[in-house]
Structures are given as structure tokens and as C-alpha cells.
Chains A and B, each alone.
Chain A
Amino acid sequence: MKGFRYLSGVSTIKLNPEICIGCGVCETVCPHGVFESNSKKARLADPDRCMECGACALNCPVSAISVNPGVGCAAYIIQTWIKGKEAASCGGINCC
């Protein structure tokens, strides 16, 4: 998605290059082209494109990636502020 950018420097994505084995799965599953990889290592080419979906972290075979996934929905975030994370509820089936 070339033209779209959101806020800079907010994503919680981190890649530990020392653990990384360069398998390239992160590059495959990322929907926004955040990663670039060769056979040796992957790197965060454009971390500001990250939307914290968590696909990379879940599928990294050596757990070299960490990211705080969450619900990017304003209504839900307001609920976590008021009720706390445990009690906050999604709009459910009608939202998604």
C-alpha cells in the first residue's frame, strides 16, 4: 500500500538480528512489506508501515520478532481506558 502512511515511530515491532536465521517467513506473511530478507538475515526495512497484526511474530520459527498486537478500534480503546483491558468488549460480530 504505497500511498498510505500512518503515524511514525509508534509501532512496537522489534526484530532481534542475532537470533534471526534469515528464513524469510516474516517477509512472506507481512501484508505491508515491512521486512526485507536474504538467506542470511531479515531486517525491518520500513517499520512505520507496521500495523502490529502479529503475523510475523507468530510465524517466526526462532521467535526473533516481538510486537504488541491489539485492537486498533477507537471504541474498544476507549473501553480499555474506562473499564480496563479485561472488561473491555468488542462490538462483537456486528463490528467485525
Chain B
Amino acid sequence: MTQPAPIDCDRASAGPKPAPEAIPSGLGALPVITTREVACCGGPAGEPSASFERPGYQVHHFVASFQTTPAGEVPIVQTHLNRRDRLGTLMVRLGIRRGHYRLAPGLYGVGEPGPDSPVLVTANYNLSFDALRRQLSGLDAWILVLDTRGINVWCAAGHELFSTREVVRQIERTALNQVVRHRRIILPQLSATGVSARSVKQVTGFEVVWGPVRAGDLQAFIAAGLIAETSARRVTFDLVDRFVLVPVEINLKVRSLAGSLLVIFILSGIGPSIFSLNAAWSRGLMGAAALLAGFLAGGVLTPVLLPWLPGRAFSLKGAVIGGLTSLIVVYIVRNQARPLELFSLILMTTTVSSFMAMNFTGATPFTSPSGVEKEMRRAIPAQIAALVIAIIVWLSSGFIA
């Protein structure tokens, strides 16, 4: 057994060289690179480039392979989520880089899709795509991804991105009629807000079948012959649904909170000596506590406790939980704050909570815009009045010994 030749990382092969092939055009003999294992710098050199790689394009981690179809190469994706997917989910739920969590629109597949496999349509937001593909294990299906600019199905449908036009566009662009024999596409029910099934059929010849609301009911839907139970056609809003919305809602308002904290510190310093840093700090802290308590009561407690808080209007629910939370603030500052200040603090917490809770209407799936507008026309004047009173009382109490 001879020793292997010493490794030279600049050489193409570490084994005995095969006979050089005659290369025309006077280039001379070039070594032929074999597919045997190549070692480099102490370890294996890695796989050679795959045939589906293209200059300038990188393949997503969730692509398992490519399948050749009459309309070109289609990526076959995995039906389980891995750590990268879960990390991506966490980031967007926290509101981090939500605008960049998207994939290329077009045709994808799971399993071994063929000309009779169902076509499932979704948005090019990774969260939507992941929510779909993780429910498809064991299934052979095509996934038609629309360009919704990285926005989820329902919001995109409401903003005319998951639209009739976009469905038509992707059907034509992917030459879907060459890929499948049937003429049926399954759309998520919530995309009905933006897609007219009749128009899609008229233009493309593809019949739209409305799938269930949740991807989790898809396999049962398909097994039952494209029929959904009533419960699969209803949107729910249970504790988990509500809770996952909280971080983004907080994120959207955190700058306003920072601004108002700054304001309360400044206002707290105003007094007989024009401005006192001492007062700004000691009174400001109490004000900040009240504002923060209201922010959390309206932004976190209200979504979580939503069905159990009284009243239909969210501003009322927020005011109630805000009022209760303000009692905690009062208890904490009971030895520092005077009665007038306590009154102001209670108003601050209650009002901020009411306002934050009212903003949650935009994230709930059962509030109508007409209802929200009606609620706001009543609530906002009351919130402004309460805030003005709270500020006047807070300022005045800065002048009272």
C-alpha cells in the first residue's frame, strides 16, 4: 500500500493522473478533473456545484430537489420546518425585518407532483408559505406562489395584492396549463376578499375551489373530495392567535411611548422655579410609571383578556383594564404622590390603555371598519379630554407646595 501523494491544494486532483485527452485548438494536454473524492487543506473539499445552480441565484434551504416539468424546472420543497424557519418565524412575530421575509413567486411542489396533482395557491410571505407546506407531508401537490410583496394572504387580499389579476398573472407566467391536466386551483378561503373566482375562470379557464381557512384543514379537505366542514370555514381568535399579535403591536407603538415618556419628564420639571431637574426626575418617574402601565394594560393585557373584558368597544375594554392597572400604580407611588397627582396618574394610565386597546382593532379579525370608525368618533374626544385634564392637573400640582 503506497502512501497517498502529498496534498497540494492548488492541484485539481490528489490521485494518479489519468492520461490527458487531446484537446483541439492547440491548448495542449490539460488534466481531466475526476469525480472522485477530493481532499483539500486537511478536510473533504465539499460537493461539486449542482446542475440546478445558476449564476447570481442562491437556492433556499427548504428546497429539497428540482423536478423537470413541461414548463421548466420546479423546486420541490420540504414539508417540515427546521430551526432556520422557526427563527425566521420568531423574528417576524417580534416585528424584525418583516418586509424581507419573502420568496420568489412562481411554481413550487411537494412530494412527487404530477399532471393530476392539486394546485394550492398562497402568498410569497415565508410565514404563509411555511404554514402551508408544513401541513402537506405525504401529499403530492403543486404550490403556486403569488407576488403579494411579502404580505400574508388575508392582508394582501384586502389590499388588492392577492388579487384576481395576480392569480391570473401567475397562472399564465408559470404555464400552469402545461403542468397539470385538470383545470382547478385551490385558493385559501381568506383570499376571497381579493379574488373573484368567476373572473379567474373566465380569463384562464381554471376553476377556483375555495379551500379551508387554515392550512391544517387542507389534507382533510382534499381527502373529503374538496369539501370543508363548517368549522374549517370560520376564523377563530383564541388566546394563542391574540397573543402572537402582541409583539408587533407593541413594536409599532414603542416610539410613541418613548416620545411621551420624554414629554412627561419635561412636564414634571415645570414648577415655581421654572424648571427643576429634581422634580423632573422624581415626578417624572411617577408619570412614566403611569404611562408605561397604561401602555402594557392596553397593549398586552387587553389582547390577552379580550373576551373577558366588559363592553364591545375596545376603547372601553382598555379603559376598564387601564383603570384597574392604575390602582397598582397608585399603590406603588402612594407615599410620594399627592392626591391631585394620583388623580392625574389614574387618568393617564386609563387613557393610554384605552387608546392602545382601540388600536388593537386593526389586528382583530372580527371588527368592521365601519364599527371601528364609529367607536373612534366616540372614544377619541373622550381620550383627548381625559389627557388634557391629566396634563393640566399634573402641571398644576407642580406648583402646589
**A75-B158 CB under 8 A given contacts A4-B307, A31-B213, A53-B193:** no
- The answer, yes or no, to whether A66 is at the interface (CB within 8 Å) is no
| Residues of chain B with a CB closer than 8 A to A50's CB | 368
- Give the Cβ gap from A56 to chain B, nearest Cβ, in Å: 8
- Give the Cβ gap from A70 to chain B, nearest Cβ, in Å: 3
- The answer, yes or no, to whether A68 is at the interface (CB within 8 Å) is yes
Q: Give the complex CA separation of A25 and B198 in angstroms.
A: 11
**A94-B95 CB under 8 A given contacts A31-B233, A77-B372:** yes
Q: Are B192 and A33 in contact (CB under 8 A)?
A: no
Q: Give the complex CA separation of A4 and B309 in angstroms.
A: 11
Q: Which of B152, B189, B236, B375 contacts A1 (CB 8 A)?
A: B236
Q: Are A94 and B155 in contact (CB under 8 A)?
A: no
Q: Which of B152, B198, B380 contacts A96 (CB 8 A)?
A: B152
Q: Which of A32, A53, A93 contacts B149 (CB 8 A)?
A: A93
User: Mostly helix, strand, loop or mixed at chain A's interface?
Assistant: loop
**A96-B156 CB under 8 A given contacts A51-B365, A72-B361, A77-B372:** yes
Q: Are B151 and A6 in contact (CB under 8 A)?
A: no
Q: Are B359 and A10 in contact (CB under 8 A)?
A: no
- The answer, yes or no, to whether A49 is at the interface (CB within 8 Å) is yes
- The answer, yes or no, to whether B31 is at the interface (CB within 8 Å) is no
Q: Are A33 and B99 in contact (CB under 8 A)?
A: no
Q: Give the complex CA separation of A28 and B234 in angstroms.
A: 10
Q: Are A72 and B95 in contact (CB under 8 A)?
A: no
| Residues of chain A with a CB closer than 8 A to B307's CB | 3-4
- The answer, yes or no, to whether A90 is at the interface (CB within 8 Å) is yes
| Residues of chain B with a CB closer than 8 A to A11's CB | 368, 370-371
Q: Give the complex CA separation of A59 and B208 in angstroms.
A: 11
User: Mostly helix, strand, loop or mixed at chain B's interface?
Assistant: helix
| Residues of chain B with a CB closer than 8 A to A68's CB | 369-370
| Interface range, B side | 35 or more
- The answer, yes or no, to whether A87 is at the interface (CB within 8 Å) is no
Q: Give the complex CA separation of A95 and B152 in angstroms.
A: 11
Q: Which of A3, A52, A55 contacts B369 (CB 8 A)?
A: A52
Q: Give the complex CA separation of A93 and B233 in angstroms.
A: 27
- Give the Cβ gap from A44 to chain B, nearest Cβ, in Å: 14
Q: Are A31 and B197 in contact (CB under 8 A)?
A: no
Q: Are B189 and A90 in contact (CB under 8 A)?
A: no
Q: Are A29 and B98 in contact (CB under 8 A)?
A: no
A20-31: CB near B (< 8 Å → 1, else 0) gives 000001001111
**A31-B190 CB under 8 A given contacts A72-B367, A96-B159:** yes
Q: Are A94 and B98 in contact (CB under 8 A)?
A: yes
